[in-house]
Structure 1
């Protein structure tokens, strides 16, 4: 099994990043560019960021965990449709394709996170005090959530193709309601009561506690995030295993 997954990881790497000279560079520039754009836009309207002194660092601490969730959920969701031809071989299963895509995305996101945060900490003047534990736990939780959402969606996409468009519409507001460019505590009570059910808000808050020692993030519940992630992944994996033939044969 590990050989199959390893081969799929290499294939995904070549397919996703190796076909153009800038493939790997774009994987870094895309989130870095989004962070820079947020900092430029919001700095024109707000005198100081909600936390710290640097706009770009504050938005990076929100966007990177959101990107970790969103990127993994997106690529894992398309695992079956992209690799269906390979699944005609008995040794390749839908779950192998999901795990391979997840591994490659995790490695990419970790490299991107290190490069973006290290660069910002060097160039910005912000008295942050890093605590790697909360940062890594927050990013891991974001990626686990992406795996859970992506796995269950991969199964649904196989049988209900229109769900891909519906999910895209439903998921579009996530960027706005995931505390990327604001803090959960700054919202009115009614908004807090709604957004507390958004698991991405919790992982963003956890990551920020690793950068800003004054930020407590008392609302963060990683038990909720990891429990939901495990439920979605195990449900999707069980469906993939028990309906493997149906998933592969669907067109």
Structure 2
């Protein structure tokens, strides 16, 4: 055997190819936001801080006191962050599938890969947004650390998990009805306005509060706020929320297997 013969290139493993595809999709996701560059991705990460500032400014202007604790920033953040995490992930997973759909004509890119890539990007974005909000609160002299860290983190992770589950269901729906991308915006806006971000749902009349508890986002917000104030009069139905998380994820994966792939 000739020692000077050129060596053959090593064949990449399936895992290496898969990771390269995921990284390429994630980078494309980050550049496909506002403006078509990475600065657009930064705008999305900063949006929770802007959102928090607008809501707190509106409460201060109208002279509304915080119904939980003494600081309106903590009250708004404890409700807006989990609600926005669910809203962004469940919506952006669907949008990512629609944006990257032409790439699935390449044999290396599967439609499920576009879902995984967008989920990873949105999870990172959510935690970056939380970190930035905490930094802003510290700059204003507000302590963002909850009294019960495990409870608050558990509620926020549940919001992310529910967003992933509902996002996969949305992918199955929009693969058949592309107009659902627009229709779901109305759904998320309605859920956001009625879930208790700006008010304490438990202080509503019992007849109204009973129906609000059917909204999983309402209970997730109450779960997070329990981490900040364990004395608020709420009872979270954890079994109900886990049923939503695992049920939506199961339905979404089944739809990806039998509906989305059938469109190929």
TM-score bin, normalised by smaller chain? 0.7 to 0.9
CA-based RMSD of the aligned residues comes to 2.3
Q: Tell me whether 1:235 sits opposite 2:255 in the alignment.
A: no
Q: How far did residue 7 of structure 1 move?
A: 3.2
Structure with more contact order per residue of length (Cα contacts < 8 Å, sep ≥ 6): 1
1:15 paired residue among 32, 35, 43: 32
TM-score (norm 2): 0.84
Instruction: Label 1:125 to 1:91 Cα distance change in 2 as closer, same or farther (>3 A).
Output: closer
In structure 2, C-alpha distance between the alignment counterparts of 1:206 and 1:236, rounded to whole Å: 25
1:209 corresponding residue in structure 2? 226
Cα distance in structure 1, aligned partners of 2:129 and 2:142: 21
Look up the match of 2:179.
162
Which of 136, 139, 156 is residue 119 of structure 1 equivalent to? 136
8 Å Cα contact 1:195/1:201 also seen in 2: yes
Change (3 A) 1:224 1:40: same
Q: Is the 8 A contact 1:152 1:233 kept in 2?
A: yes
Alpha-carbon distance between aligned partners in 1 of 2:206 and 2:260, rounded to the nearest angstrom:
46
Work out which of the two has the higher radius of gyration on C-alpha atoms and give 1 or 2: 2
Match for residue 191 of structure 1 among 202, 208, 224? 208
Deviation at 1:20, TM superposition (A): 3.5
Report the CA distance between 1:136 and its aligned residue. 1.5
Matches of 1:131 and 1:43, distance apart in 2: 27
Cα pair 2:31 2:40 within 8 Å, conserved? no
Displacement after TM superposition at 1:122 (Å): 4.6
> Would you say the 8 A contact 1:141–1:222 is kept in 2?
no
Paired residues in the alignment total: 247
Offset at 1:165? Answer: 3.0
Q: Deviations over 1:33-54 (max 9, x none)?
A: 1111111112333442001111
Uncovered stretches (5+) of structure 2, i.e. residues with no partner: 1-14
SS at match of 1:73: helix
Gaps of 5+ in 1: none
